[in-house]
Amino acid sequence: MNRYFIEFSFRGTRYHGWQLQPNAITVQQVMEEVLDMITGSRIKTTGAGRTDTGVHAKHFTAHFDSDHALFHQPENFLHKVNRVLPPDIAVNRIYRVLPEAHARFSALSRTYEYIVSLKKDPFGTGFSWYFPRHLDLVSLQQAAGKLSEFRDFTSFSKLHSNVKTNHCHIDLAEWRAEDGKLVFTVRADRFLRNMVRAMVGTMIEVGLGKITVDEFIKIAEARDRNKAGLSVPAQGLYLSHIAYPDCIRL
């Protein structure tokens, strides 16, 4: 049995995230149904992690095990699977990996982006959060620069998420201005549920002048979700990259 990684992107608008759920359409459900159909066999995928309802992915990875001949022909596979997948999901690569390689646990880092649109854009609806108020970019940058100093992100984690630890290591966090938008980029070894949206919601309060950078630091140090800001809407959030060690690829 061979193990494969598939890399794909999806528009999350009509999906309840990646992971299979009862009575809700998810990306994993659609992907597995298409893989089953084109191979005539049962393909069980394991994704790199969860995504919330409405969140997009520029780069998502899943693995599966199969001996089907189609997966030995990457170009043929990509052509067939993309013909069948709906327009809001596209497979970009498939490659064989070591039997012990894991889409979730082998990942070195994940990168997310959050897009805030400062002007009304009919072509950006569903792909950014429209927030037509002045935000101070310098203050946002100062707050983002503090995130790498923290390890416990309980203040920015969904309550009762049943994880063993709320510790994460952020090695990149920055805001940039881009054509009428503000884009927040953050990279870490792992993320908690709702973490990016809660961090952005709290930094927005810094950008509005409602709280200072020092108060933002105290919120993070409090390890109390009730002290942080509201979570921003899902449509502005993108999983943009997942990094893996080169040695897992065959």
Let me know: does 30 contact 19? Beta carbons within 8 Å: no
DSSP code, position 15 = S
List residues bridging with 81 in a β-sheet: none
* One-letter amino acid of 237: L
Let me know how long the chain is: 250
Active-site pick, 52, 88, 121, 152: 52
Let me know: does 61 contact 5? Beta carbons within 8 Å: yes
CA-to-CA dists, residue 234 to 14, 110, 121, 210, 243, angstroms: 12, 17, 17, 23, 23
Give me the residue label for tokens 């022909």: 73
Residue 189 designated active-site:
no
Rounded-to-5 percentages of helix, strand, coil across the chain: 30, 30, 40
Measured CA to CA, the distance from residue 97 to residue 145 in angstroms comes to 36
Sign of CA dihedral 147, 229, 11, 42: positive
Catalytic residues: 52
